[in-house]
Amino acid sequence: MRGHIRQRGRNWAIVLDQHDPVTGKRRRRWHSFAGTKREAQVRCAELVAELQSGTSIDPSKITVVEFLDQFDRDWVATHVSPHSRERYRFALDHVRRHLGGRLLQKLRPADLAAFYAALARTGLAPRTIKLVHSVLHRALGQAKTWGIIRDNPAELAKPAKAPDRETSMLQPDQAAVLLERLRGKPLYLIASLALGTGMRRNEMLGLRWGDVDLDAGRLTIERALEQTVAHGIRTKGPKTKHGRRTISLAAHLVAELRQHWREQQEQRLAAGLGKAPDSAPVFATIDGGHLSPNAITKAWPVAMAAIGMPAITLHSLRHTHASMLIASGLDILTISRRLGHSSPTITLSVYGHLIHGGDDRAAQIMNAAFGSKTVASGGGKTDL
């Protein structure tokens, strides 16, 4: 393994000579370098060392857009859900427009910093820029794993931090007002179930009558709906094993679901569909199909504005459920399991700021353990 430099105008050409271990033939690799002669000699020595250690990356003319097409085809398509794939494509379309023509191996942290700044100047929201960065970081990390690039520039260049967004939730009296104003309207039961169980929108819409045991007062979450441009509406399993869970129902929810079941059977009989089988959705269209998650999302703010509560999102009802359980003193592990979090750590990261009074209780416990003994013994002075 040998290397030398040649001057080319104001720059240098680094020439590496190596023998192919299979054919025995000599291979020559050229690298262009801008700098002093001494800097070129140092870079030449580094490239020789990389070749000898097996960490060298062959020069490639692949562009960013060509690599992203490969990444979408060979990794995204097989590793993420259809819904996540749409988010990946949305994020990487920004990269294609701004950096697509660049050579992948020439992409530097400074290029990404300028890219994120350009996105900010166009008015793109900080959280959207953060999504673009996260997806690009994943893509370039895969390029490194595949041996196309040596370093991931997205590890060094990061967009401006998005402002913290407080988790929106209602006070118990506000939640009661919300339900009262929605009573008798199409979204009432969805709101009531979200507040009473903490279920996600797509979990509620994927719920089947076979998953509900009204006699026992429980329901089991085994699937959720997913709506994408490519596949329309279809069911999928939870993201993690903890997403599959059984939730106990309050008595008022059992009564409301019984009433909903009776009304749905009447509608089905009137439409000539017959009694709903166990596989029928709890929340169904007139012909017994699944409701559209996107349609529910669009209908929700309209319904909120109509009842005078426009700032409330459907997902905030899940947060409200969690906050009410925390306020009641229920342990965090039970709350985490009820919400379907993969770990109580996630629950604490989202809702930990709502837990109060624990430190006072800790002081009381220590006083009960040691306080009376210390007083009885008269204490003592300690020189520090």
DSSP character at residue 292: P
Cβ atoms within 10 Å, residue 231: 12
| Cβ–Cβ under 8 Å, residues 46 and 33 | no
pTM of the predicted model as reported, rounded to 2 decimal places: 0.64
Helix (H), strand (E) at residue 3: strand 2-8
306-343 per-position pLDDT tens digit: 999 988 899 999 999 988 888 888 888 998 999 998 88
DSSP 112-165: HHHHHHHHHHTT--HHHHHHHHHHHHHHHHHHHHTTS-SS-GGGT--PPPPPP-
Residue tagged 């590496």 (tokens): 16
**Per-residue pLDDT, 209:** 95
Q: Which of 203, 195, 187, 173 is CA-nearest to residue 305?
A: 187
> For residues 106 and 96, what is the distance between their CA atoms, to the nearest angstrom?
15
Rounded Cα distance between 222 and 224, Å, is 7
Q: Which long-range contacts (CB under 8 A, 24 or more apart) does 160-165 make?
A: 160/116, 160/120, 160/126, 160/129, 161/126, 162/125, 162/126, 162/127, 162/129, 162/130, 163/126, 165/127
Domains of the chain: 2-53 (no CATH), 64-155 (1.10.150.130), 172-353 (1.10.443.10)
**How many Cβ atoms are within 10 Å of 69's Cβ, its own excluded?**
15
Q: For every one of its 384 residues, what pLDDT tens digit does the chain have, with 9 covering 90 and above? A: 678 888 888 888 888 777 665 566 777 777 778 888 888 888 888 878 777 665 545 556 889 999 999 999 999 988 888 888 889 999 999 999 999 999 998 899 999 999 999 999 998 888 899 999 999 999 999 998 888 888 899 999 988 887 666 567 888 899 999 999 999 999 999 999 999 999 999 999 999 999 999 999 999 999 998 888 777 888 888 767 788 999 999 999 999 999 999 999 998 888 888 888 899 999 999 888 999 999 999 999 999 999 999 888 999 999 999 888 888 888 889 989 999 988 888 888 777 666 655 566 666 766 676 765 555 555 555 454
The amino acid present at 202, given as its one-letter code, is N
